[in-house]
Amino acid sequence: MDTSLVKAAEVLAGSRFTLALTGAGISVESGIPDFRSAGGLWARFNPAEYATIEAFRQDPHKVWRMLAEMDRLLVRSRPNPAHLGLAELERLGYLQFVITQNVDNLHQAGGSQRVIEFHGNAATLACLACHAVYSRAEVSNQAVPPKCVCGQVLKPEVIFFGEEIPPPVLAQAHDLVSLARVLLVIGTSAEVAPASMLPRLAKEHGATIVEINPEKTRLTDELTDILLQGRAGEIIPALVAELKRRTTDGWPPVTGCSRSAPRPG
């Protein structure tokens, strides 16, 4: 048994308030490329050129060439064992919230109940002119790019580069992270601010940082306490299995209180 995995299970079992911060890497095994995947979508559409709010305002038709391809990937993607494993950790009471940078809805599809969508969700679209909101299903019969009844091209409700995180979302993420005893940092390069600042905030408030990633990141040597190096779809199920093994072995001792309620502080 990998000693880092056993150590991570130990800190999770001993934590009263655990969060996961997830990034594009957790959805790679569902067929959605991250910004770092070789080839594929992002080799043809540079995010710095296509994923900025300026680009969308200047030429929404151009940006929709990228969005339409992204949407085709999102619509057919399914949660992988990493998403399912996090949902199981929540059910078992070992995980209180997921804060995700992803816009693919795969945590919710995998069964997670408490999900903070830091960068929004591509399943709804909004009009920048009259602020009407549509579901993806409502506009799926339209030609690309889909338009509002007022005539304006619709924008998926995701945070583009250059857009602000909605203040209530940012405030909730900060509050949760300051309470965390353990922060699982999964599949993020921690290059995109302000999400990249959450691990430091957690650490400053005393959290243990457990990182799950096949590669080292800018966090690894500076902040990470335990690195579980590998694919999230393999590591997270192994972590769930280790926690279950400990419970069936009679550890931690069973007490009267349920693990399932969030217990901050």
Q: Which residues are annotated as a binding site for Zn(2+)?
A: 127, 130, 148, 150
**At 101, which amino acid appears?**
Q
Q: How far apart are CA 86 and CA 141, in angstroms?
A: 34
125 binds Zn ion (CB under 5 A): no
Options 61, 83, 119, 131, the catalytic residue: 119
Write down the least CB distance from residue 33 to ligand NAD, Å: 7
119 given a catalytic annotation: yes
**Does 68 help bind Zn ion (rule: CB under 5 A)?**
no
Supply the minimum distance, in Å, between the C-beta of residue 103 and ligand NAD.
4
Residue from 6, 68, 75, 150 that binds Zn ion (CB under 5 A)?
150
Cα dihedral 92, 98, 104, 106, rounded to 10, equals 0
What is the Cβ-side half-sphere exposure of residue 198, based on CA atoms within 13 angstroms? Answer: 35
For ligand NAD, the closer of residues 166 and 264 by Cβ is 166
The binder of 152, among ligand NAD, Zn ion, none, by C-beta within 5 to 8 A per type, is Zn ion
The rounded radius of gyration (Å) of the Cα atoms in the chain is 19
Residue 75 contact, options ligand NAD, Zn ion, none, Cβ 5-8 Å cut-off depending on partner type: none
- Residues 6 or more apart in contact with residue 130 via CB below 8 angstroms: 148, 150, 152
* Interacting residues of 242 by C-beta distance below 8 A, sequence separation 6+: 1, 5, 6, 9
Please, what is the minimum distance in Å from the beta carbon of residue 234 to ligand NAD? 8
Q: Which does 150 bind (CB under 5 to 8 A by kind): ligand NAD, Zn ion, none?
A: Zn ion
State yes or no: residue 148 binds Zn ion (CB under 5 A).
yes
Residue 187 touches which of ligand NAD, Zn ion, none (Cβ within 5-8 Å per kind): ligand NAD
Find tokens 């619509």 and name the residue. 75
Residue 238: CB atoms within 10 Å: 18
**70 vs 148, beta carbon nearer ligand NAD:** 70
Which residues of the shown chain bind ligand NAD in the complex (CB under 6 A)?
A: 23-29, 32, 34-36, 101-104, 119, 187-189, 191-192, 212-215, 217, 231-233
> Which of Zn ion, ligand NAD, none binds 34 (CB below 5-8 Å, type-dependent)?
ligand NAD
Task: Quickly tell me which residue has 């069973």 as its tokens.
Answer: 254
Residues in binding site: 127, 130, 148, 150
- Of 235, 198, 183, give the one whose Cα is nearest residue 214: 235
* Per CB under 5 A, 133 contacts Zn ion: no
The sign of the CA dihedral 236, 28, 125, 175 is: positive
Among 163, 200, 195, 164, CA closest to 180: 200
Query: Between residues 54 and 132, which has the closer beta carbon with respect to ligand NAD?
Result: 54
Backbone angles phi, psi at 37, to 5 degrees: -60, 135
Cα separation of 143 and 146, whole Å?
Answer: 6
Min separation Cβ 158 and Zn ion, Å: 18
Binding site for Zn ion (CB under 5 A): 127, 129-130, 132, 148, 150, 152
Active site residues: 119
